[in-house]
Amino acid sequence: MDLSAINPVLLIASLMVAATPLLLAAIGELVVEKSGVLNLGVEGMMIVGAIAGFAVSVETGSPLLGLIAAMIGGALLSCLFAFLTQFALANQVASGLALTLFGLGLSALMGQGYVGVKPPAMATLDIPVISDLPVIGPIFFSHDPVLYFGVFLTAAVWYALKFTRIGLVLRATGENHDAAHALGYHVIRVRVIAILFGGACAGLGGAYISLIRVPQWTEGMTAGIGWIALALVVFASWKPWRVLLGAYLFGGINVLQLNLQAAGVAIPVEYLAMSPYVITIVVLVIMSRDKTSAPGSLGRIFHASS
């Protein structure tokens, strides 16, 4: 056993990378849920984003175009969900699950020609002097742009929800859609936009895995991250900064687990691998005292009958 082999600075830097796809997908889902919609199709949108981004960036040679394509891909897939739940008034749980099934299949079909291809690399931030600073440099100034975008997005969503009119309308819709409707807000329109935003974020999160974190394309490569993102939103009790914190915690446990193994600590791996989920449950229990946080209309179907 050699715990000194674990470098806490590098551990933090790599957990930030591990957390970013989770963060992006979860922030998107947070907005969706704040509008009162539960979309369980995050995994499906992520994987479609992963292949859309991968294919476009391989074809064009531009990682940036790839990321944009990933957002479009995720959003397009979420259109299906929006149509089903907002216009056809279908059950959201079932629609979300169907979306995941469909997305996994679709991505595999799209990706048939891209197995074993290496995507163009994404540049990382490298500011002379600052990026080389001890501790601060590796943690804050040596990452890829998408990681910073994730943090920026968290801040933007927090600000928008808290201080802007759009945020107010969104929250009102999620809290009580009938009241929001009575006030003259377009409930359906707000929700569709939120769903598209969620799809774009999930797509970007997926592309982060296929273009930056791994980078390669293989079928089913998101391997359940979309589901964890769903848990994360609840874990964070629908608060953006807590999503960030939770994503780092989730990513952190995994990275720490691997670190302990590599340092030769004889840990029962299965039990440590369970721990993020057990901790989420514990946090859910603790957070559940705070009854005010969940959007009031979450998962309920809205139909303007009058």
- Give residues 185-214 in contact with other proteins (rule: CB under 8 A): 209, 213-214
6 part of the interface to other proteins, by CB under 8 A: yes
CB-based contacts of 146, cutoff 8 Å, min separation 6: 20, 24, 67, 122, 204, 208, 212
Cα 78 versus chain centre, distance? 14
The verdict on 62 binding other proteins (CB under 8 A) reads no
Q: Is 289 in the site for other proteins (CB under 8 A)?
A: yes
Residue closest to 228 by CA, chosen among 252, 196, 259, 197: 252
Give min distance, CB of 125 to other proteins, in A. Answer: 14
Helices (H), the chain: 8-34, 42-60, 63-82, 92-110, 136-140, 145-163, 165-175, 177-182, 187-207, 225-235, 240-262, 269-287
7 binds other proteins (CB under 8 A): yes
| Pick 135 or 274: Cβ nearer other proteins | 274
12 binds other proteins (CB under 8 A): no
| Per CB under 8 A, 225 contacts other proteins | yes
Q: Is 268 in the site for other proteins (CB under 8 A)?
A: yes
Q: Shortest distance, CB of residue 156 to other proteins, whole angstroms? A: 25
Q: Nearest approach, Cβ of 195 to other proteins (angstroms)?
A: 15
Radius of gyration over alpha carbons of the chain, in Å? 20
Q: Which of 65, 108, 151, 245 binds other proteins (CB under 8 A)?
A: 108
79 near other proteins, rule: CB under 8 A: no
User: Which one of residues 39, 57, 78, 280 is an interface residue with other proteins (CB under 8 A)?
Assistant: 280
**What phi and psi values does residue 105 have, to the nearest 5 degrees?**
-65, -45
Residue 97 binds other proteins (CB under 8 A): yes
* Residue 25 contacts other proteins per CB under 8 A: no
Element (H, E) at 300: none
Kindly state the smallest distance separating residue 163's Cβ from other proteins, in Å. 28
| Least spacing, CB of residue 143 vs other proteins, in Å | 11
- Between CA 281 and CA 283 the distance in angstroms is 5
The rounded Cα 11 to chain-centroid distance in angstroms is 21
